[in-house]
């Protein structure tokens, strides 16, 4: 058990000790990588359930709805992702 279980730091702690990361740390590491990929422009789209997308589009604050569904780190990664150039049609 790492002292920071459930975080990316905890995942690193497991790895440096040579033990298998626990489920919480594996999940935190997957979230970290997913958010890193968005922030750095490697992931171009994310899946959002239709009902969440509808609620966001109909609300006055779509970010608040997405924040509730995706979490603060994911919304922050999306907000800071590089703007992709659109291909001419
Ligand atoms: Zn752990």
27 CA to centre of ligand 1 in angstroms: 9
pLDDT at position 88 is: 67
Per-residue CA distances from 15 to 3, 18, 24, 79, 84 (Å) = 13, 5, 14, 30, 34
Distance (Å) from CA 70 to ligand 1 centroid: 22
Could you tell me the pTM of the whole model? 0.77
Evaluate whether 39 touches 60 at the Cβ level (below 8 Å): no
Identify the pLDDT of residue 69. Answer: 93
C-alpha 47 to ligand 1 mean position (Å): 27
For residue 51, how far is its CA from the centre of ligand 1 (angstroms)? 33
If the chain, 89 residues long, is cut into consecutive pieces of 10 residues, what is the mean pLDDT of each piece?
A: 88 96 97 96 93 94 94 94 75
How far CA 89 is from CA of 41, 47, 63, 86, in Å, comes to: 22, 24, 29, 9
Q: Rounded to the nearest whole angstrom, what is the distance from the C-alpha of residue 62 to the centroid of ligand 1?
A: 33
């Amino acid at each position: 058990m790492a002292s920071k279980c459930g975080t990316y730091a905890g995942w690193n702690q497991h790895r440096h000790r040579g033990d298998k990361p626990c489920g919480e740390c594996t999940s935190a590491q997957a979230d970290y990588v997913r958010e890193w990929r968005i922030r750095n422009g490697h992931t171009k789209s994310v899946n959002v359930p239709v009902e969440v997308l509808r609620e966001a589009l109909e609300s006055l604050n779509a970010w608040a709805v997405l924040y509730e569904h995706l979490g603060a780190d994911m919304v922050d990664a999306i907000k800071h992702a590089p703007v992709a150039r659109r291909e001419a049609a």
